[in-house]
Amino acid sequence: MGPVGPTGHTPPGLKIISPRASSSQPNSNLNVARPRTSGLPAITAQPAGRGSRIPGQRPFTRPPAHAGGGASRPRLDMSLTPPQATADTALDALAPGFRRLGQRFFVGAAARLMPTHRPHRLAIMVFHRVRPAPDPFLSGDPDVKQFTAIMDLVRSRFSPLSLAEGLRRLDEGTLPQRAVCVTFDDGYADNLTVALPVLKQFEIPVTVFIASGYLDGRLMWNDRLAEAIRRLPGDKVDLNEYRFGVHALGDPRERAKLLRDLLGLLKYCPPEFRDVIADDLAARYAPHLRSPMLTRAQLRE
């Protein structure tokens, strides 16, 4: 089966939905959902279509195919706008502090979005990963300490439900006050090894949406790209062969900023563009990566 599911990370967040569709999945502590091909409502942003244009970007052309099946890398003829410094670059140094502040007040803000006098709302918490320890390079995902604090607040201030029960009770109009469902996208192994023990501790059900094409050892393009950027040698990198310019790498924040820019730039591109760049950089700088995804054996546990 080919890859299914998201083509790149969206930040963890909270979605307030009012769907009309319901789910027939049973209520369980670890509910592994199949790909979103049923009538379930879309609760995360969908990629732009193949013919879509992203505002501010120029058109791109399809990369040429390999000639004669040789091993040489294809030359890309890309007219994408290279990563540029944005207005918030000066705030990058403050980003960790803002993230901690955001995590501290995340659930409080969600509670204000779901007042008790309007019970017929269902909040969907969307995560991708929970890391065993803080990772400054990939700080968009919570570590286990942060995730534990969030789930503690979810249990004490909300009414956590399985996704199936939440959608059913939303249709029936029987939702409890501040109903919330916890979900994970993609199917990373740390959903099982790191997040699930915390969820069991607080008796919070969870639904995991599996990108089945990446089970058993494969890596998503964004993970390949991230680990390549993490391992780039030296204090600068020349990406002019991809029309991305030259970027400083001396400061860890500059390296993380480059990754964020590249992820944002490539996320909505056709897979042949993303994969060529991610595969190329990973082959050069991170050739022996271990997959962070679940295995089929773990799904059967």
Q: What is the CA radius of gyration of the chain?
A: 21
Residue-wise pLDDT for 35-52, tens only, equals 333 332 332 333 333 333
Which residues on neighbouring strands pair with residue 248, listed in sequence order?
236
What confidence category does residue 243 fall into, taking pLDDT thresholds of 50, 70 and 90?
confident
Examine the domain organization and report whether 172 and 273 are in the same domain: no
Of the residues 182, 214, 246, the one at which a domain ends: 214
Examine the domain organization and report whether 228 and 147 are in the same domain: no
Host H or E run for residue 17: strand 13-17
pLDDT value of position 137: 83
Nearest-angstrom CA–CA distance, 238 and 276: 17
pLDDT value of position 84: 42
Domain presence at residue 251: yes
Nearest-angstrom CA–CA distance, 225 and 83: 15
Q: Kindly tell me if the per-residue pLDDT of 65 is higher than 80.
A: no
Nearest-angstrom CA–CA distance, 144 and 151: 10
Residue-wise pLDDT for 274-301, tens only, equals 999 999 999 999 999 999 999 999 998 7
Examine the domain organization and report whether 95 and 179 are in the same domain: yes
Nearest-angstrom CA–CA distance, 242 and 80: 9
Please tell me whether the overall predicted TM-score, pTM, comes out greater than 0.85 for this model: no
What confidence category does residue 30 fall into, taking pLDDT thresholds of 50, 70 and 90?
very low
User: For the chain, how many helices (H) and strands (E)?
Assistant: 9, 8
Q: Kindly tell me if the per-residue pLDDT of 187 is higher than 90.
A: yes
Tokens of 112: 């204000």
Examine the domain organization and report whether 253 and 286 are in the same domain: yes
Give the chain's domain count: 2
pLDDT value of position 126: 95
pLDDT value of position 107: 57
Residue that the structure tokens 């391992």 belong to: 231
Examine the domain organization and report whether 147 and 166 are in the same domain: yes
Examine the domain organization and report whether 258 and 286 are in the same domain: yes
3-state secondary structure of 190: helix
Q: Which domain covers residue 284, as residue numbers?
A: 216-296
Indicate the residue type of 300: R
Q: Which residues of 184-220 are buried (b: 16+ CB within 10 A; e: fewer)?
A: bbbbbebbbebbbebbeebebbbbbbbbbebbeeebb
pLDDT value of position 11: 59
Residue-wise pLDDT for 84-130, tens only, equals 433 333 334 444 554 555 555 555 656 665 665 566 789 999 999 99
Task: Calculate the average pLDDT of the chain.
Answer: 74
